[in-house]
Amino acid sequence: MSVFRGMRFAAPRRRSRQLAGYAPVLAQGDQHVSTILSELLRSRAAAEADRPAMKVAGAGNLTFESWWRRSDAVAAGLLRRGITPGDRVGLVFGNADWLDYAVAFLGTLKARAVAVPLSDQLGAADVDARLAHCGAALVLRAGELPEAEPEPGTDLAPPAPGDLAQILYTSGTTGRPKGVAASHANLGHGWGGRRKPFTHSETLAHAFPIGTQAGQWMLANAVGAHPTVVTLGRFTPGRFARMIEEHRAGTVFLVPTMAIELLASGAHLKADLSSVLLLGSAAAPLPARIAGELATAFPRATIANYYTSTEAAPAQTVMLYNSGRPSSVGRPASAGDVRVATAEGEPLPAGETGEVWMRSPTASRSYYGDAAASAGVFRDGWVRMGDLGYLDADGYLYLVDRESDVVKSGAHKVSTLHVEEAVYEHPDVVEAAAFGVPHPALGTAVAVAVVGTADHTGLRAFLKSRLASHEQPHHLITLDALPRNHGGKVDKRALREVVR
């Protein structure tokens, strides 16, 4: 596979605050320790029985003691139904069911079974396909938890660190969804130490969906971080802003599309959000313009962009917003590492674009039941991210594009992320997505879908000085909303169908 040799995005060489000083706030926790999540829940239940671990706005809360007791009952119920260690258990839940989902997940781990989180927003055929792929022995849903009294004298044995704990399916935006398998050692890395993350907050607010890596990170935070984790059944900008205000959240996590909706709606102007000291974005690139607007909307908050993948977690990079490096996704955190390399794995020097790889600080993940696919992505602790990018001289990572999204137009290769950044600079553009569509002469041409009031003639004139001729969109379309999957990522395959 070829790479963008020598491609650079110029940016002022301005140093931001060092991440090391923010480790207790931004990183996962004490990276020198690890635990089993169910054992960590045991210790929190013993020490902080009545403290809420998790809340759903308007739907109650789950204390550490009730989480421990109810998950014990689910484990007992699973064992009575014949579940044995290693059996896969599908967990099909909606975002309004976070409390039951948290109980079901930890109960499954306590039974030494393998949790398979799935959103109820998936189509029935997609759910069935995932359950068939992993060979699920049982499916749990909200309101149908098999809670039972443990048998007298039964003591649930904790799983071994190397045992399989979870299979989490990728979004499938670039192909068939894959089941990413993680061990207990992987899920528990960094948790259980003296330093609990986000100690500046009593409440952490998010709106990540169940069945995603971001959602699973919030579940782990509910077990191991300092603040109570609060979420809501259905995201709207107004509800989310009011939840932050009501719970005086000190830490807030969202995905870029939610940030865009929040800013466009003006909901941040109608609620008191002064409690927010850290606002984190995850799951997709955060456009530089949006990051800057968030910094203005949340003047007391540090704006942080997190970059990882379902395959690479808990490895990640973190970037504190810096106007001198508005497009960077940061440097490694959580004791992981990052490199940019050729297709053969040879590291490239600073400034050269190649494949982005991350190294996990603990036992790496794999594709469940797919050794061939695993061999192409997981190598000696390193994980191929499927992105193209480059490192600057200070080790900051910049993404150029998803490998699968690069538009090969004639003799040129066009970064859709670069095109999107330029489009987002237009004041009348609310959202934007660039993608490739078939072209009779060029093979593939650039298309751009926008949400907003930007006039196409004016937008083309605006982009003329910001993009090279081969980067200019051949097709411009305006939509009421960009198509997205249940995880909030733009579905570019659906956009191609719109243009055709």
Distance CA 205, CA 121 (A): 21
- Tell me the per-residue pLDDT of 150-162, one tens digit each, with 9 for 90 and over: 777 666 788 999 9
User: What integer pLDDT is reported at residue 309 of this predicted model?
Assistant: 93
Write the CATH number for 489. 3.30.300.30
Distance CA 98, CA 207 (A): 11
Write the CATH number for 273. 3.40.50.12780
* Mean pLDDT, range 264-285, rounded to an integer: 93
Decide: residue 345, CB within 10 A, 0-12 exposed, 13-18 middle, 19+ buried. Answer: middle
Evaluate if residue 38 carries a pLDDT over 70.
yes
Asked, for residue 7, whether it belongs to a domain, the answer is no
How many degrees, rounded to 5, is the angle at CA 323 between CA 321 and CA 326?
Answer: 70
If asked whether residues 114 and 183 sit together in one domain, one would say: yes
Q: How many CB atoms lie within 10 A of CB 158?
A: 16
As for how many domains the chain has, the answer is 2
If asked whether residues 393 and 424 sit together in one domain, one would say: no
Please provide the average confidence, as pLDDT, over all residues in the chain. 89
* Mean pLDDT, range 292-313, rounded to an integer: 93
| pTM across the whole model | 0.85
Beta strand 114-119 with 61-63: parallel, antiparallel or unpaired? Answer: unpaired
Q: Using the 3D structure, point to which of 397, 429, 451 is the last residue of a domain.
A: 397
* Mean pLDDT, range 75-92, rounded to an integer: 97
Instruction: Report whether 230 contacts 247 (CB < 8 A).
Output: yes
Query: What's the half-sphere exposure (Cβ side, CA atoms, 13 Å) at 9?
Result: 23
Q: Using the 3D structure, point to which of 335, 362, 397 is the last residue of a domain.
A: 397
If asked whether residues 373 and 410 sit together in one domain, one would say: no
The set of residues, in sequence order, having a beta carbon less than 8 Å from that of 456 and lying 6+ positions away, is: 476, 478
Query: Nearest-CA neighbor of 431 among 490, 495, 493, 485?
Result: 490
The set of residues, in sequence order, having a beta carbon less than 8 Å from that of 224 and lying 6+ positions away, is: 29, 35, 37, 40, 44, 191, 192, 196, 197
Task: Answer left, alpha or beta for residue 415, where phi above 0 means left and psi between -120 and 50 means alpha.
Answer: beta
3-state secondary structure of 204: strand
Evaluate if residue 462 carries a pLDDT over 90.
yes
Instruction: Report whether 71 contacts 62 (CB < 8 A).
Output: no
287: preceding bond cis by omega (within 30 degrees): no
Domain holding 328, by residue range, is 22-397
If asked whether residues 173 and 26 sit together in one domain, one would say: yes
User: What integer pLDDT is reported at residue 172 of this predicted model?
Assistant: 67
If asked whether residues 382 and 491 sit together in one domain, one would say: no
Q: What is the dihedral of CA 407, 412, 416, 417, to 10 degrees?
A: 140
If asked whether residues 45 and 158 sit together in one domain, one would say: yes
If asked whether residues 281 and 425 sit together in one domain, one would say: no
Distance CA 195, CA 479 (A): 46
If asked whether residues 456 and 334 sit together in one domain, one would say: no
If asked whether residues 327 and 424 sit together in one domain, one would say: no
Asked, for residue 441, whether it belongs to a domain, the answer is yes
- Tell me the per-residue pLDDT of 115-135, one tens digit each, with 9 for 90 and over: 999 999 888 999 999 999 999
Asked, for residue 461, whether it belongs to a domain, the answer is yes
Helix, strand, coil % in the chain, rounded to nearest 5: 30, 25, 40
Distance CA 483, CA 13 (A): 37
Beta strand 397-402 with 328-333: parallel, antiparallel or unpaired? Answer: antiparallel
Q: Using the 3D structure, point to which of 397, 432, 464 is the last residue of a domain.
A: 397
- Tell me the per-residue pLDDT of 217-270, one tens digit each, with 9 for 90 and over: 999 999 999 999 999 999 999 999 999 999 999 999 998 889 999 999 999 999
Evaluate if residue 408 carries a pLDDT over 50.
yes
More confident: 271 or 333: 271
If asked whether residues 378 and 430 sit together in one domain, one would say: no
Distance CA 282, CA 252 (A): 11
User: What integer pLDDT is reported at residue 22 of this predicted model?
Assistant: 36
Instruction: Report whether 374 contacts 353 (CB < 8 A).
Output: no
If asked whether residues 134 and 229 sit together in one domain, one would say: yes
3-state secondary structure of 116: strand
Asked, for residue 11, whether it belongs to a domain, the answer is no
One DSSP character per residue, 33-64 reads -B--HHHHHHHHHHHSTTSEEEEETTS-EEEH
How many degrees, rounded to 5, is the angle at CA 330 between CA 258 and CA 28?
Answer: 75
Asked, for residue 13, whether it belongs to a domain, the answer is no
Q: Amino acid letter at 442?
A: L
If asked whether residues 50 and 135 sit together in one domain, one would say: yes
